[in-house]
Amino acid sequence: MRKWKAIPNLKLKLAALMLAGSVAVAFLWVAGHFIHIGNESLNRKLYLKAYFTRIRWFGNPKIGITMSDSLLGWRHIPGSVGRHWVPYSFDVRYHIDDQGNRSTKASYDLPKILFVGCSYTFGHGVEDDSNYVAMLQAQWPGYKLVNTAVNAYGTGQAYLTLLQSLSRYKDIRLVVYPFINQHAHRNYLRKEWLEKIWESNRRQNVHFEIDNGNLVYKGLSEPARDAITDTIILEKKEAEISTALVEAMRDTCAALGIPFLLVHLPDWRPAALDTILKPLVDTSHYLDLKKYIDIKSIALPMDGHPNATGHRLMAAQLFPFLKKHLGK
């Protein structure tokens, strides 16, 4: 009989212990907001430590808007929607339209302005209507601004996307390649980049070579097989491939009578790729936004990509530049 009487007492003790533990956790959580280490609260510091440790161990959280592609390495899933959240930085949703592009509010039946590029143009960390392409779209209801940019793309994917888009869409009036200096390290077989995209999302980068003076697509790279460590020779090769890719984009557009524009977006890396690419186009076809916008003043916290204010500033600078080439 004593055993049966002891069970209720044990349950009460366990319940009391759980309640005390919950109160203690709640107290520590509240106290953590007021305990600071440097400029950060204890809560924030511990939370971010756990978040970035998880990324190092398990890779980036899946957003659900990309899939593997045998030509490009990866691409958007048409019609997909994904939530992207980084603590203490942003919480947004991305909408990909039925063509596989970041959603902009205009019909594909309209004349088009085509953007090819990476996360800075896609609008990493900002809502659909807060990236600079969408802001420009709002000012040009008579055009369809097609945002084909995809997170982590380099110049190689930009070139291949251009070729696909030219065969897919009619009435393209302008082609814009907004680049960042980091693209140079994505344009060949740099070990650091190949391993990073493979470990984070099992992605394979595109591989181009120069054979007998011609740019040749070699397929997708394999990190274990193709990766090259950082050397002066590698940097020269990256410059050579980057140059050839932009020349190919320029010449392809010229053959069709479509203006090709280069835009250097505000970025973190010191001048490198921009000094190589700027001479490849007429000065009237080149815009350096880094002269007008400091990335440090517009960067998302804990991330580094431009925030919504940064996109608004970029759109303001781009509008007159693009308008001049549209002739309207």
Looking at the fold, whether 114 and 206 belong to one and the same domain comes out as yes
Looking at the fold, whether 35 and 162 belong to one and the same domain comes out as no
Looking at the fold, whether 193 and 96 belong to one and the same domain comes out as yes
Whether residue 92 is contained in a domain is answered as: yes
Looking at the fold, whether 214 and 147 belong to one and the same domain comes out as yes
Model confidence over 155-204: pLDDT tens digits? 999 999 999 999 999 999 999 999 999 999 999 999 999 999 998 788 99
* pTM to 2 decimal places: 0.86
pLDDT range class, residue 269, cuts 50, 70, 90: confident
How is 144-156 classified by DSSP, letter by letter? EEEE---TT--HH
Distance CA 150, CA 161 (A): 10
User: Which residues touch 41 (CB under 8 Å, ≥6 apart)?
Assistant: 32, 33, 34, 35
Distance CA 307, CA 297 (A): 9
Short-list 320, 322, 183, 312, CA closest to 261: 322
Short-list 65, 193, 188, 160, CA closest to 122: 65
Is there a contact between 145 and 108 (Cβ–Cβ < 8 Å)? no
Structural domain count of the chain:
2
Whether residue 59 is contained in a domain is answered as: no
| Confidence at residue 99, expressed as pLDDT on a 0 to 100 scale | 98
Looking at the fold, whether 275 and 226 belong to one and the same domain comes out as yes
Determine the structural domain holding residue 10 and report its residue range.
2-54
Model confidence over 25-79: pLDDT tens digits? 455 445 555 565 555 665 666 666 676 676 667 667 789 999 999 999 999 999 9
CA 119 distance to own-chain centroid: 2
Residue ranges of alpha helices (H) inside the chain are: 2-34, 42-58, 119-122, 132-139, 155-168, 191-201, 223-226, 232-256, 273-277, 295-298, 308-326
Short-list 117, 109, 78, CA closest to 95: 78
Find the angle CA(176)-CA(312)-CA(277) to the nearest 5 degrees. Answer: 30
The residue count for the chain: 328
Looking at the fold, whether 49 and 90 belong to one and the same domain comes out as no
Looking at the fold, whether 106 and 230 belong to one and the same domain comes out as yes
Looking at the fold, whether 50 and 83 belong to one and the same domain comes out as no
Whether residue 60 is contained in a domain is answered as: no
> Order of strands, edge to edge, in the sheet holding 112-115?
144-147, 112-115, 172-179, 260-264, 286-288
Looking at the fold, whether 25 and 143 belong to one and the same domain comes out as no
CATH of the domain at 235: 3.40.50.1110
